Chain A
Amino acid sequence: DAGVIQSPRHEVTEMGQEVTLRCKPISGHNSLFWYRQTMMRGLELLIYFNNNVPIDDSGMPEDRFSAKMPNASFSTLKIQPSEPRDSAVYFCASSRTSGGPQETQYFGPGTRLLVL
Protein backbone atom coordinates (compact mmCIF):
# COMPACT_ATOMS: atom_id res chain seq x y z
CA ASP A 1 0.00 0.00 0.00
CA ALA A 2 1.40 3.42 -0.96
CA GLY A 3 0.00 5.15 2.10
CA VAL A 4 -1.50 8.62 2.07
CA ILE A 5 0.02 10.71 -0.70
CA GLN A 6 0.32 14.48 -0.48
CA SER A 7 1.56 16.99 -3.01
CA PRO A 8 3.45 19.16 -3.20
CA ARG A 9 5.80 18.29 -0.35
CA HIS A 10 7.05 21.86 -0.18
CA GLU A 11 5.46 25.08 -1.37
CA VAL A 12 6.85 28.60 -1.23
CA THR A 13 4.58 31.36 -2.40
CA GLU A 14 4.02 35.05 -2.02
CA MET A 15 1.30 36.67 0.01
CA GLY A 16 -1.92 36.99 -1.93
CA GLN A 17 -1.32 33.99 -4.16
CA GLU A 18 -3.64 31.00 -4.32
CA VAL A 19 -2.30 27.77 -2.89
CA THR A 20 -3.73 24.31 -3.57
CA LEU A 21 -2.69 21.30 -1.55
CA ARG A 22 -3.57 17.82 -2.73
CA CYS A 23 -4.19 14.51 -1.02
CA LYS A 24 -4.79 10.95 -2.15
CA PRO A 25 -6.08 8.79 0.72
CA ILE A 26 -5.37 5.10 1.17
CA SER A 27 -7.55 3.02 -1.13
CA GLY A 28 -10.63 1.72 0.68
CA HIS A 29 -10.58 4.39 3.38
CA ASN A 30 -13.77 6.39 3.61
CA SER A 31 -12.76 9.20 5.96
CA LEU A 32 -10.30 11.96 5.18
CA PHE A 33 -8.91 14.62 7.50
CA TRP A 34 -6.94 17.83 6.94
CA TYR A 35 -4.72 19.06 9.79
CA ARG A 36 -2.42 22.03 10.24
CA GLN A 37 0.69 21.93 12.44
CA THR A 38 2.48 25.00 13.77
CA MET A 39 4.90 25.55 16.61
CA MET A 40 2.48 27.87 18.36
CA ARG A 41 -0.74 25.87 18.07
CA GLY A 42 0.43 22.30 17.52
CA LEU A 43 -1.74 19.98 15.42
CA GLU A 44 -5.22 21.25 14.66
CA LEU A 45 -8.00 19.55 12.74
CA LEU A 46 -9.25 21.80 9.95
CA ILE A 47 -11.94 19.68 8.31
CA TYR A 48 -12.90 16.08 7.82
CA PHE A 49 -14.91 14.19 5.22
CA ASN A 50 -16.83 10.95 5.46
CA ASN A 51 -17.78 9.24 2.20
CA ASN A 52 -16.69 12.40 0.35
CA VAL A 53 -19.07 14.61 2.35
CA PRO A 54 -17.71 17.34 4.64
CA ILE A 55 -18.78 16.48 8.18
CA ASP A 56 -17.09 19.06 10.36
CA ASP A 57 -15.36 22.18 9.06
CA SER A 58 -15.41 24.09 12.33
CA GLY A 59 -11.62 24.10 12.39
CA MET A 60 -11.27 25.96 9.10
CA PRO A 61 -9.79 29.28 10.21
CA GLU A 62 -11.31 31.66 7.70
CA ASP A 63 -13.25 31.90 4.47
CA ARG A 64 -9.92 32.01 2.70
CA PHE A 65 -9.69 28.28 3.32
CA SER A 66 -11.78 25.79 1.39
CA ALA A 67 -11.63 22.02 0.96
CA LYS A 68 -13.19 19.65 -1.52
CA MET A 69 -13.39 15.93 -2.02
CA PRO A 70 -14.80 15.28 -5.49
CA ASN A 71 -14.29 11.53 -5.23
CA ALA A 72 -13.06 8.86 -2.85
CA SER A 73 -9.47 9.07 -4.05
CA PHE A 74 -8.76 12.80 -4.09
CA SER A 75 -9.09 15.88 -1.93
CA THR A 76 -7.84 19.45 -2.12
CA LEU A 77 -7.28 22.18 0.43
CA LYS A 78 -7.18 25.64 -1.10
CA ILE A 79 -6.06 28.91 0.43
CA GLN A 80 -7.02 32.05 -1.46
CA PRO A 81 -5.53 34.55 -0.88
CA SER A 82 -2.64 33.20 1.17
CA GLU A 83 -1.10 35.15 4.06
CA PRO A 84 2.22 34.74 5.92
CA ARG A 85 0.37 33.43 8.99
CA ASP A 86 -0.80 30.46 6.92
CA SER A 87 2.77 29.16 6.90
CA ALA A 88 2.64 25.71 8.49
CA VAL A 89 2.81 22.01 7.73
CA TYR A 90 -0.49 20.70 6.40
CA PHE A 91 -1.22 17.02 6.92
CA CYS A 92 -3.81 14.84 5.31
CA ALA A 93 -4.91 11.63 7.04
CA SER A 94 -7.35 8.88 6.16
CA SER A 95 -9.10 6.07 7.98
CA ARG A 96 -11.52 3.25 7.40
CA THR A 97 -14.45 4.40 9.46
CA SER A 98 -16.26 1.62 11.20
CA GLY A 99 -17.66 3.68 14.02
CA GLY A 100 -15.73 1.69 16.57
CA PRO A 101 -13.14 2.80 19.13
CA GLN A 102 -10.37 0.90 17.39
CA GLU A 103 -10.18 3.27 14.42
CA THR A 104 -6.86 4.89 13.69
CA GLN A 105 -5.83 7.49 11.19
CA TYR A 106 -2.97 7.15 8.74
CA PHE A 107 -1.07 10.34 8.04
CA GLY A 108 0.60 11.55 4.89
CA PRO A 109 4.08 13.11 4.95
CA GLY A 110 2.69 16.65 4.96
CA THR A 111 3.07 19.74 2.81
CA ARG A 112 5.38 22.44 4.19
CA LEU A 113 3.92 25.78 3.17
CA LEU A 114 5.83 29.03 3.43
CA VAL A 115 4.03 32.23 2.51
CA LEU A 116 6.37 35.19 2.09
Chain B
Amino acid sequence: KQEVTQIPAALSVPEGENLVLNCSFTDSAIYNLQWFRQDPGKGLTSLLLIQSSQREQTSGRLNASLDKSSGRSTLYIAASQPGDSATYLCAVTLISSGSARQLTFGSGTQLTVLP
Protein backbone atom coordinates (compact mmCIF):
# COMPACT_ATOMS: atom_id res chain seq x y z
CA LYS B 1 0.00 0.00 0.00
CA GLN B 2 1.32 3.41 -0.97
CA GLU B 3 2.25 5.62 1.96
CA VAL B 4 3.07 9.30 1.66
CA THR B 5 4.97 11.07 4.41
CA GLN B 6 5.59 14.77 4.82
CA ILE B 7 8.21 16.32 7.04
CA PRO B 8 8.07 18.59 8.93
CA ALA B 9 4.47 18.63 10.12
CA ALA B 10 4.75 22.33 10.87
CA LEU B 11 7.21 25.04 9.94
CA SER B 12 7.49 28.67 10.95
CA VAL B 13 9.84 31.04 9.12
CA PRO B 14 10.40 34.79 8.90
CA GLU B 15 9.28 36.58 5.79
CA GLY B 16 11.81 36.55 2.96
CA GLU B 17 13.38 33.19 3.74
CA ASN B 18 13.69 30.43 1.20
CA LEU B 19 12.31 27.12 2.41
CA VAL B 20 11.95 23.49 1.45
CA LEU B 21 9.10 21.13 2.20
CA ASN B 22 9.70 17.41 1.93
CA CYS B 23 7.56 14.53 0.74
CA SER B 24 8.42 10.84 0.53
CA PHE B 25 6.45 7.92 -0.89
CA THR B 26 6.95 4.18 -0.64
CA ASP B 27 5.93 2.95 -4.10
CA SER B 28 7.76 4.49 -7.06
CA ALA B 29 5.18 3.23 -9.58
CA ILE B 30 3.37 6.53 -9.77
CA TYR B 31 1.63 8.40 -12.57
CA ASN B 32 2.40 11.81 -11.17
CA LEU B 33 2.97 13.77 -8.00
CA GLN B 34 1.17 16.94 -7.05
CA TRP B 35 1.61 19.63 -4.48
CA PHE B 36 -1.57 21.21 -3.16
CA ARG B 37 -2.20 24.19 -0.96
CA GLN B 38 -5.01 24.26 1.60
CA ASP B 39 -6.08 27.43 3.36
CA PRO B 40 -8.06 27.17 6.63
CA GLY B 41 -11.68 26.32 5.96
CA LYS B 42 -11.08 26.02 2.25
CA GLY B 43 -10.60 23.29 -0.31
CA LEU B 44 -7.37 22.26 -1.95
CA THR B 45 -5.71 24.11 -4.80
CA SER B 46 -3.25 22.34 -7.06
CA LEU B 47 0.07 24.22 -7.20
CA LEU B 48 2.31 22.01 -9.26
CA LEU B 49 2.00 18.66 -10.98
CA ILE B 50 5.07 16.64 -11.95
CA GLN B 51 4.54 13.78 -14.35
CA SER B 52 6.43 10.56 -13.65
CA SER B 53 8.72 11.24 -16.61
CA GLN B 54 9.65 14.71 -15.36
CA ARG B 55 12.20 15.84 -12.79
CA GLU B 56 10.80 19.21 -11.80
CA GLN B 57 8.18 21.86 -12.38
CA THR B 58 8.29 25.58 -11.69
CA SER B 59 5.60 28.17 -11.16
CA GLY B 60 6.63 31.62 -10.06
CA ARG B 61 8.41 31.35 -6.71
CA LEU B 62 7.61 27.66 -6.43
CA ASN B 63 9.75 24.81 -7.66
CA ALA B 64 8.93 21.16 -7.16
CA SER B 65 11.31 18.30 -7.83
CA LEU B 66 10.72 14.58 -8.17
CA ASP B 67 13.14 11.71 -7.66
CA LYS B 68 11.18 8.52 -8.29
CA SER B 69 14.07 6.18 -7.58
CA SER B 70 14.45 7.47 -4.04
CA GLY B 71 10.73 8.10 -3.54
CA ARG B 72 11.17 11.78 -2.74
CA SER B 73 9.85 15.16 -3.76
CA THR B 74 10.61 18.63 -2.51
CA LEU B 75 8.71 21.87 -2.78
CA TYR B 76 10.96 24.90 -2.75
CA ILE B 77 9.44 28.28 -1.96
CA ALA B 78 11.63 31.28 -2.68
CA ALA B 79 11.40 34.58 -0.83
CA SER B 80 8.51 33.48 1.35
CA GLN B 81 5.64 35.90 2.09
CA PRO B 82 2.97 35.93 4.81
CA GLY B 83 0.45 35.08 2.10
CA ASP B 84 2.22 31.75 1.65
CA SER B 85 0.98 30.67 5.08
CA ALA B 86 -1.15 27.57 4.54
CA THR B 87 -0.99 23.80 4.71
CA TYR B 88 0.87 22.18 1.85
CA LEU B 89 -0.06 18.66 0.86
CA CYS B 90 1.77 16.26 -1.35
CA ALA B 91 -0.21 13.62 -3.27
CA VAL B 92 0.74 10.83 -5.63
CA THR B 93 -1.40 9.22 -8.29
CA LEU B 94 -1.12 5.45 -8.27
CA ILE B 95 -0.97 3.28 -11.35
CA SER B 96 -1.55 0.05 -9.49
CA SER B 97 -4.81 -1.89 -9.65
CA GLY B 98 -6.01 0.16 -12.61
CA SER B 99 -6.88 3.03 -10.30
CA ALA B 100 -4.72 5.45 -12.19
CA ARG B 101 -6.59 8.44 -10.87
CA GLN B 102 -6.54 7.61 -7.19
CA LEU B 103 -4.69 10.23 -5.15
CA THR B 104 -2.88 9.26 -1.97
CA PHE B 105 -2.18 12.25 0.23
CA GLY B 106 0.45 13.00 2.81
CA SER B 107 -0.62 14.53 6.11
CA GLY B 108 0.64 17.95 5.11
CA THR B 109 3.06 20.60 6.34
CA GLN B 110 1.52 23.61 8.06
CA LEU B 111 3.58 26.64 7.04
CA THR B 112 3.52 29.96 8.85
CA VAL B 113 5.45 32.89 7.39
CA LEU B 114 5.92 35.60 9.97
CA PRO B 115 5.90 39.26 8.84
Give A residues with C-beta under 8 Å from B.
Answer: 4, 31, 33, 42-45, 48, 50, 55-56, 91, 93, 95, 97, 99, 101-110, 112
Contact = CB atoms under 8 A, between A and B. Distances in A.
Given A42-B107, A102-B32, A97 B101 contact: yes
Nearest to B99: A56
A102 B51 contact: yes
A42 B106 contact: yes
Main DSSP-derived SS at the B contact region: strand
A31 B93 CA distance: 14
Contacts, number: 59
B24 to A, nearest CB: 15
Contacts of A107: 36, 43-45
Main DSSP-derived SS at the A contact region: strand
B93 A101 contact: yes
Contacts of B105: 42-44
Contact of A91 (B44, B49, B100): B44
B102 A108 contact: no
B53 A101 contact: yes
Contacts of B108: 42
B89 interface: yes
A102 B49 contact: yes
A104 B46 contact: yes
Contacts of A109: 41-43
